Amino acid sequence: MDRREKLLSGLDVARASGIEIGPLNRPLILKSQGEIQYVDYGDAAFLREKYKDDPNVRGEDIPEIDAIWGDKTLEEALGLGRRFDYALASHVMEHVPDLIAWLGEVHAVLEPDGTLRVALPDRRFTFDFLRRESEVSDALIAHVMRARAPLPGQVLESCLNHQLVDRRDMWDGGAARQPQYERAKRLDWALYCARQVMETGVYIDVHCWVFTPLSFARLMEQLAVLGFLRFECGRIFPTERDGDEFIVIMRRSEDQARSAETWRQAAEALLAEPLAPLAATLERAAAGFQEGLRQQADAMARLEQRFIALERRAAPLAWLARRAWSRVRR
């Protein structure tokens, strides 16, 4: 399965209604493919102007935005009372200042059995690899403060620990070779950015949240237990070899206990996953060892048969030798 197949897993796009949050110039679903509403924090003209100098963004491919999600809630932006079968967000969720509020607003516009489908960067293979993984206390602080822009602490940590990496090298153990003290050179810049946020209220876009598949599942479980999450885990597609993102399908739920349990089970499955290749290797090694023993046993059996055959062939010669020896003695 490619990333699009994972994100749309189990979804009939042609028959379902949905929203895509932050499609930029690469929407996963086109208007011709199904009923879809594009949501972003600015209209198409604003986005084209913002990204006009970005070589990775083709301005002409940015679609017209149907709903601007900023000062209004998502429900207000889309139209009060409107409900959708699914919501898509590719590399959006890690940028939102208030994770709990964001999830709550998406929940509010979904049908009772609606799904939220997200693609998220895996800290271990991105420029966030020096950062610590987000904890439930971080989410609660941002929610209590009703953050509408990245908090000074989020900006400071991001700027201080930002370090470009080669994800394929990281898969081959490159983390051990990365300089661990480069952050000291960025301290002045990080402090400046944090002060700008505090003093002027400027919006500095950073990764407010840092995850691995396992840390994400554990964080969602904790939020569900505390009553701050009304989504259960549908499925987690872990980061693939040489990749830098994982994909999560979340299903709308009002059952707090069930929601927490699905995330707990997902975390257990992710914990067991790294052991699967080792188990397979050991199983192959055991099978190879057993095959080696079988071959040795077969070789020993063949040697035994040859020895018996030689013994039979040597029996007459032994009789003649004994007879000749007895004559010599006489």
Record the pTM: 0.81
- At 223 the pLDDT is 98
Domain assignment present for 311: no
Rounded to an integer, the average pLDDT of 165-176 is 87
Collect all residues with Cβ–Cβ distance below 8 Å to 233 and sequence separation of at least 6.
Answer: 217, 220, 248, 249, 250, 251, 259, 262, 263, 265, 266
> Residue 312: pLDDT band by 50, 70, 90 thresholds?
confident
- At 176 the pLDDT is 77
Domain assignment present for 102: yes
Domain assignment present for 178: no
**Tally of domains in the chain:** 1
* Alpha helices (runs of H) in the chain, residue ranges in sequence order: 3-7, 44-50, 74-78, 99-108, 136-144, 152-161, 167-171, 187-200, 213-225, 256-272, 275-329
- At 275 the pLDDT is 47
pLDDT in tens, 286-310: 555 566 566 676 666 676 777 666 6
Domain assignment present for 294: no
pLDDT in tens, 119-152: 999 999 999 999 999 999 999 999 999 999 999 9
Please state, in angstroms and rounded to a whole number, the distance separating the CA atoms of residues 302 and 326.
Answer: 36
Domain assignment present for 300: no
Domain assignment present for 94: yes
Q: Which domain holds residue 216?
A: 3-146+207-277
Query: What percent of the chain shows pLDDT beyond 90?
Result: 72
Domain assignment present for 15: yes
> Residue 70: pLDDT band by 50, 70, 90 thresholds?
confident
> Residue 280: pLDDT band by 50, 70, 90 thresholds?
very low
Please state, in angstroms and rounded to a whole number, the distance separating the CA atoms of residues 270 and 249.
Answer: 15
> What is the per-residue DSSP string for 59-103?
GGGPPPPSEE-SSS-HHHHH-TT--EEEEEEES-GGG-S-HHHHH
Domain assignment present for 322: no
Rounded to an integer, the average pLDDT of 78-82 is 92
> Residue 315: pLDDT band by 50, 70, 90 thresholds?
low
Rounded to an integer, the average pLDDT of 172-190 is 80
267 versus 173: which is more confidently predicted? 267
292 versus 3: which is more confidently predicted? 3
- At 98 the pLDDT is 97
pLDDT in tens, 227-278: 999 999 999 999 999 999 999 999 999 999 999 999 999 999 999 876 444 4
**Which CATH number fits the domain that encloses residue 14?**
3.40.50.150
- At 273 the pLDDT is 72
- Please answer whether residues 197 and 149 qualify as being in contact, where contact means their C-beta atoms are separated by less than 8 angstroms: yes
Task: Name the packing angle between helices 99-108 and 136-144 (round to 10°).
Answer: 80
> Residue 164: pLDDT band by 50, 70, 90 thresholds?
confident
- Residue 142, number of CB atoms within 10 A of its CB: 24
In this predicted structure, the answer to whether residue 100 has a pLDDT above a threshold of 50 is yes
> Residue 184: pLDDT band by 50, 70, 90 thresholds?
confident
DSSP 211: B
